[in-house]
Structure 1
Amino acid sequence: MFLTGFAAMAVMPLLPVAARELDGVGLYPLVAGAFVAASLLGGVLGGSWADRAGAGRPLTAGVLLSVVTLLVSATSTTIWQLGAGRFTDGIAAGLVAVSVNAAVGQSYPDRLRARVLSLMSACWIVPSLVGPPLAGLVAGWWSWQAVFYALAGLTAIPATAAVLLLRGRSGRSDRRAGAGAAGELGPAVRRPAPSAALAVSVAAALTQYGVTAWDVLHLLCAGAGVALLVAFAPRLLPPRTWRAADGLPATVLLRALTSGAYFTLEAFVPLLLTTVRRVPGTVTGLAFTGAALAWAGSSWVQGRLHHRVPRHRLVAVGAAVMAVAVAVAALCTVPAVPPAVAVSSMVLAAVGMGLAAPSLTLLSLAHTPADRQGYASGAMQTSQNLGQTLVLAVTSALFTTLSVLSDGGLPAFTGAFALLAVPIAAAAALSGRTRVTAAATVRRPAPEPSAAGAGSRT
């Protein structure tokens, strides 16, 4: 988690720079959204794989694939190749994210899960301090391609570790972890088919491309993407998710709303700083550094508070903080306001997500029996990526329209930031439906040592 955090923190500040140098600023939403679209497919594959054979195998596959995808991005000569690299990297990220969450559900009792998640957030502190500023300096002094090459070499370290350390655990212990998981979801819940996940991933990419301009080709792509999302997206989520039914469905929906708002803000604030405010790359990097530190700090706080404050209330508080962050970002579109205000908006939004995201993960595990941890983790990852795709697509469409009408950048950014208040308000209003009731609580025994010396499923 520590080493892969370097790659994650360094890439985002580079994307606006890369898009500008590759003459693809107009396709920037597509490049930013390609990663998210592919994570849908990776999350579904990883969740099903983790239930069948344990979390170790999808984790290993994910980190190995991430090395390859960084090399694809490093050698990009067109914006389309960069988008392809981000797409394959999204598959890898989906595998890793789901397998990590599934491992927490399979290996730790409920009383320790919040601290495990806060510990993983803490692993991002040093990468957040060093990664973005260093990436900005290297991109300014040398090139953004050099950063991708360096990240590929760095990511090879955890990839090698995963192969060596988890290879011996891929047999009996992993099979034991997944024993009984397949086929036990019952008639009300079906495991999502990979074909449906692939269709939704393609739909997300088409939608992101379709909103980058207004002509016949783009409108057709956007229409096809929306049609595929309507047809296949419900198959990847628990029943009644779109109606925010109490329990896991509402929890999954809130992950979509909060993640969609946060990561869209994270995409547009750097674009504002790079294209309109013309700030150095190091300033944009510092915005990501501050956001990562804020996320880790608030995640640490929720790890200490979750026994005293109901988790659904932490979600509501996090959404309220994010609403303030969106208002601050909109304020930065006023020319007289210093660009540093936009940096502070990313930090505030990260505080809210640090409270909301781990709480939602814990709520999803609390609402899910032990033999469905992979399914629940996959549904949360799918929902997160769907939320990012849809919110980013709608915001990008509004941004493109306002850019054409106003013949300027700042009004378009103002409208984009104002739109983000809608999913955040919905998340705050629906947070009560995620609460864990006494009837829904599943008592799980503490892990017992297996014959191989590893913790068995809880």
Structure 2
Amino acid sequence: MTDRAPAPAEATDEGLFSRTYATATASFAAVMFLTGLAALAVVPTLPTAARALDGVTLYPLVAGCFVAASLLGGVLGGHWADRAGAHRPLAVGLVLAVVTLLVSGASTTIWQLAAGRFLDGVAGGMVAVAINTAIGQAYPESLRPRALALMSACWIVPSLVGPPLAGLVTEWWSWRAVFFGLAGLTLLPTLVVMAALRAHSRPRPAEPAADQPARPALLVALGVSVGAALAQYGVSAWDPRHLLFAAGGVALLVVFAPRLLPPGTWRAARGLPATVLLCGLGSGVFFTLEAFVPLLLVTERDAPPMVIGLAFTGAALAWAASSWVQGHLLPRCPRHRLVVAGALVQMAAVVIAAVGTLAAVPAYTAAAAMPVAAVGMGMYAPSLTVLSLAHSPPDRQGYASSAMQTNQNLGQISVLGLTAALFNACLGVGSPDPAGYAAAFALLLLPTALAAALAVRARGA
């Protein structure tokens, strides 16, 4: 974030680490690495923490509230970035991330742990949106794909080492040590990054034009976040009480979610609305595969934990490699065509997962679906981010990034929820477990096909 960022459409021969952009690039990369490490490394500790706090029945809430809270954090970060520049929500998000690690590590009840994860989601949403906004403000259009590819790599690298190390610390020492250790590990780098961001902050953006849509109230974002949390809790069981919570959560989402998205999102209006819709579809498919494939491997194929860990590692590497390819080798390829390619690759991954439910195929076939889907996301996600920035004037890039983050999380919640509902329905009528998994994977073909068909509506100018 330099004092005078090049105009978005300006061509440049400079690289990300040239004198003009080196400080911004290093700061953004450090932010993504730190937040990725903090967010991903704690995931293996959550089941152990829930059991230690006598809150196993509330584990779905603990696991899902991060995504729900990031909806609120994304809207808050986007509004703040448009008003005062991206460096302020970025700095606050980093500090909040450290505080939430301390809150979670000191938990004496499952509700305190859930509160810590909720606050961590707020911090993560703020940071993710602020980073995307800052890239739009700091780099010319020609460098944005490379910058976004670098951010993807900096987020993914911690996923290669963080979860295994956290699992070892939890097994050999304590789950609390993971949270406290991460807080201590990230505190000093966070202070350094904050100082760099402040020294190279961008002046306050101009006020938005009068014909731009009004920014949604944070109360609306809170309603969506609470609705998502209630829905996540509601699907953890199928008794009347849980169904009531699920119905209340869905009602809040139906009422408030459209107000956080660009008009025309649900009908895929050309430009930013279609781009935002596609973000939710692709993210929902990928993270649903990430949830159901390991479950299939454990419950039906008796796969050892090492295989599942390798599947996650392979997915992280595949996402980073694919993102690098689209940013460096395909910079002039129309972004909407890369979205189509990514959706088709995701469709292939869904088919592989479905085939993996058959007893006649090797037990680990389904594991291959995760890295294949990650290849699709490596093309899909950065291309949509570039398109969202291209569709937005400079003073509305925070709003666009917030809408992308919001629908990404809504997509995860919605696609995963619908898939889980179909899976449980199949089991409820007596279908064998493999048939339930096959039906769940078959359902995922619908959003992938829809994304491939609608990609042209997100085409840039």
| Normalised-by-shorter TM-score class | 0.7 to 0.9
**Unmatched 5+ residue regions in structure 2?**
1-31
Residues 257-280 of structure 1, C-alpha deviations (whole Å, 9 max, x = no match): 111111122223334445555555
Letter in 2 for 1:84: A
CA distance in 1, matches of 2:233, 2:118: 13
Q: Aligned-residue CA RMSD in angstroms? A: 2.5
Deviation of 1:28 after TM superposition, in Å, equals: 4.8
Deviation of 1:190 after TM superposition, in Å, equals: 1.4
Structure number with greater CO (CA < 8 Å, separation at least 6) is 1
Does residue 122 (structure 1) correspond to residue 115 (structure 2)? The answer is no
- Aligned partner of 2:425 in structure 1 is 401
Residues 158-192 of structure 1, C-alpha deviations (whole Å, 9 max, x = no match): 422233333445xxx44x2x3313x42x3451111
- Aligned partner of 2:35 in structure 1 is 4
CA distance in 2, matches of 1:286, 1:420: 23
Letter in 2 for 1:202: V
Contact 2:301 2:364 in 1 (8 A): no
CA distance in 1, matches of 2:364, 2:245: 37
Among 395, 401, 406, which residue is 1:382 paired with? 406
Does residue 198 (structure 1) correspond to residue 222 (structure 2)? The answer is yes
CA distance in 1, matches of 2:266, 2:78: 21
Does residue 68 (structure 1) correspond to residue 99 (structure 2)? The answer is yes
Counterparts in 2 of 1:33 and 1:300: CA distance versus 1, 3 Å: same
Does residue 86 (structure 1) correspond to residue 117 (structure 2)? The answer is yes
Deviation of 1:143 after TM superposition, in Å, equals: 4.4
Among 120, 131, 136, which residue is 1:105 paired with? 136
Letter in 1 for 2:350: V
CA distance in 2, matches of 1:414, 1:16: 27
Counterparts in 2 of 1:419 and 1:154: CA distance versus 1, 3 Å: farther
Among 433, 437, 441, which residue is 1:413 paired with? 437
CA distance in 2, matches of 1:276, 1:247: 43
Deviation of 1:145 after TM superposition, in Å, equals: 4.0
CA distance in 1, matches of 2:55, 2:65: 14
Contact 1:16 1:270 in 2 (8 A): no
Among 368, 374, 378, which residue is 1:344 paired with? 368
Does residue 433 (structure 1) correspond to residue 442 (structure 2)? The answer is no
Residues 375-410 of structure 1, C-alpha deviations (whole Å, 9 max, x = no match): 111111111111112112222322333344448754
Counterparts in 2 of 1:348 and 1:383: CA distance versus 1, 3 Å: same
CA distance in 1, matches of 2:170, 2:435: 29
Counterparts in 2 of 1:163 and 1:436: CA distance versus 1, 3 Å: closer
Letter in 1 for 2:62: V
Contact 2:157 2:316 in 1 (8 A): no
Q: Give the percent of matched residue pairs that are identical in Structure 1 and Structure 2.
A: 65
Letter in 2 for 1:316: V
Correspondence list, 1:240-251, <5 A: 240-251=264-275
CA distance in 1, matches of 2:67, 2:144: 26
Among 168, 180, 194, which residue is 2:206 paired with? 180
- Aligned partner of 2:190 in structure 1 is 159
CA distance in 2, matches of 1:104, 1:398: 40
CA distance in 2, matches of 1:189, 1:354: 31
- Aligned partner of 2:63 in structure 1 is 32
Deviates more, 1:88-97 or 1:306-315: 306-315
Letter in 2 for 1:381: Q
Deviates more, 1:4-13 or 1:381-390: 4-13
TM-score relative to the length of structure 1:
0.86
Deviates more, 1:310-319 or 1:397-406: 397-406
Among 49, 56, 66, which residue is 2:80 paired with? 49
Q: Secondary structure at 1:123's aligned position in 2? A: helix
Deviation of 1:104 after TM superposition, in Å, equals: 0.4
**Unmatched 5+ residue regions in structure 1?**
438-458
TM-score relative to the length of structure 2:
0.85
Contact 1:13 1:281 in 2 (8 A): no
Letter in 1 for 2:401: S
CA distance in 2, matches of 1:108, 1:42: 24
CA distance in 2, matches of 1:276, 1:72: 37
CA distance in 2, matches of 1:155, 1:402: 45
Q: How many residues align?
A: 430
Deviation of 1:369 after TM superposition, in Å, equals: 0.9
Correspondence list, 1:140-155, <5 A: 140-155=171-186
Residues 320-350 of structure 1, C-alpha deviations (whole Å, 9 max, x = no match): 1111112222333345655533332111111
Letter in 1 for 2:453: A
CA distance in 2, matches of 1:47, 1:395: 30
- Aligned partner of 2:288 in structure 1 is 264
CA distance in 2, matches of 1:168, 1:308: 33
Deviates more, 1:223-232 or 1:22-31: 22-31
- Aligned partner of 2:243 in structure 1 is 219
- Aligned partner of 1:59 in structure 2 is 90
